[in-house]
Structure 1
């Protein structure tokens, strides 16, 4: 049985079709089909149902699946260890991270990791959970570290999750904003202000708007949204806009005193910061070390926050 054929088989299962598997593996669909046909001939069994647009496993395909994953994992671990032995390195870890965790949590964790294991290779990809989690399942990433907002990503039994800490969504403004020094702001004072939101706030945005509706008020109408953190920061800094963000995204601005969290009763929401890995797989040594470094960094961040003055 050819390992390449097994990996073609796994790619089709992971991506749900021959077309998507071919694109993900960088092979032609013809080459992929040829490899799986050869595997079926060797086994004497069909692995996928024919005549369906999606890749539907037969009974023989389902039987093969668990064994193929086990074999592929074992060979990949061997390949990693062999590369470490040949290069003198200590392996590598591939990380996906969201904007709220990249600087305030992941960076300190990686710095601590490299202080103790300087030969571990670290590769970091930025993005949001709906982009990063498919890359995790496709084995392009080893771990995804991001803020969880309900509705941002579907539950998937192939993904294991761990809560590292919690972050808090707050209403933020430039220290120069007219409302910046007002204590216990009323909701009504926020309605006519200009707002800039990041994308994919999920249920946090719903909760934000519901606060106004529950008080018999219409939510702010003068709003914009953007996928550009730089643009959002510029409008808050220079344009007098308010925003709704996790505190860790604005960690540097709050710490320097350039931004403040407005004192608005009921306008804060806790959300967990998650580490996602593939479920049911043994962790490589570099990944295990990174996860421990993340836990340590999260614990230290919590200690700093308990001992720090108010964000105001």
Structure 2
């Protein structure tokens, strides 16, 4: 059984507005026509999708189960229209990318610049988030590909994971931090417990590595005092206070060379992280997304990236 796009659009409108009248106006249908379409869908599925009450409608358990699939169908239809528009010259070309924040400061700027040099009319929409958030967005059809740290847990059905590159992650602190005071012995893991921590939210591979770093030393991981997915906020906070954080070394190279930040030496405070590219296993990538993916892989092979230059 197939579910056609217009029926899914009607279902999504009712689920979103919780009102047949408002949903009908949103999709440009009469209320009776919309009601008949929903009734026909319920008959095909053999289950009620909405509960009717005086204040409007609410999705049933069956409706809630259908919702993410309807969102994926609607997103796929939108991408198809965008690709057709691009082919007939009416569109700009769109790539929707999900990226963990640490990658936005390294390979992503390089790839964006290269794509725009080759396709000046393209639009690259970049969404930041934790790996968990971005995989969920990929499943809903909100992004085309995801750059994320590799988790050891199984990936959802329908997603394809391919290796990207590895980087080194470790403890980052101010270059003038008390732990680096002249004459002080090299810090031990236990010494790090006496300072506040700023970290990425749970669901991030780096946050997982942070916990493992202390557990390997037989210590209970400290509870972060500040939490943000913004690399900019993390680096600024650590640079101006006694806070500690954990970040990929690539991300803070400029601040290290400028004498603003430092990384703790020693294998106890650093480890390697594997990044992966995740996409849906079915369906072709939009043209601009395919080009962006090619340039991402070029960026990872360079790793020592040239400075960005404006598009001609």
For normalisation by structure 1, the TM-score amounts to 0.71
**Aligned to 1:128, which of 103, 127, 130?**
130
Contact 2:102 2:231 survives alignment (8 Å): no
Cα 1:299/1:276, change in 2 over 3 Å: same
Given the alignment, which residue of 72, 87, 91 partners 2:90?
87
Over 3 Å counting, the alpha-carbon distance change for 1:202 and 1:243 in structure 2 is closer
Q: How does 1:1-312 map to 2 (within 5 A)?
A: 3-8=5-10, 19=15, 28=23, 35=34, 37-38=36-37, 41=40, 46-50=44-48, 53-55=60-62, 76-77=79-80, 79-87=82-90, 89=92, 91-150=93-152, 155-180=155-180, 185-200=187-202, 201-213=206-218, 223-227=224-228, 229-301=231-303, 304=304
State the shift of 1:267 in Å: 2.2
CA RMSD across the alignment: 4.0
Q: Secondary structure at the match of 1:87?
A: coil
Which deviations, in whole Å up to 9, do the C-alpha atoms of 1:183-234 show, x marking residues without a partner? 8643344333343323224431321220331xxx56557x523215454333
SS in 1 for 2:225: strand
Aligned residue pairs total 278
Q: Is the 8 A contact 1:8 1:36 kept in 2?
A: no
Distance 1:44 1:189 in 2: 62
Q: 1:75 to 1:135 in 2, by over 3 A?
A: closer
Q: Distance in 2 between matches of 1:6 and 1:199?
A: 34
| DSSP 3-state at the match of 1:163 | strand
Cross-structure match for 2:52: none
For residues 167 and 144 of structure 1, what CA distance do their matches in structure 2 show? Answer: 17
Unaligned runs of 5+ in 2: 50-58, 306-312
Cα displacement string for residues 223-263 of structure 1 (whole angstroms, at most 9, x for unaligned residues): 52321545433332121222222324434323434212111
* Deviation of the 1:138 alpha carbon: 2.5
SS in 1 for 2:62: coil
Q: Secondary structure at the match of 1:133?
A: helix
Q: Deviation at 1:160?
A: 2.0
8 A contact 2:75–2:141 mirrored in 1:
no
Q: Distance in 1 between matches of 2:35 and 2:139?
A: 21
TM-score (ref. length: structure 2): 0.71
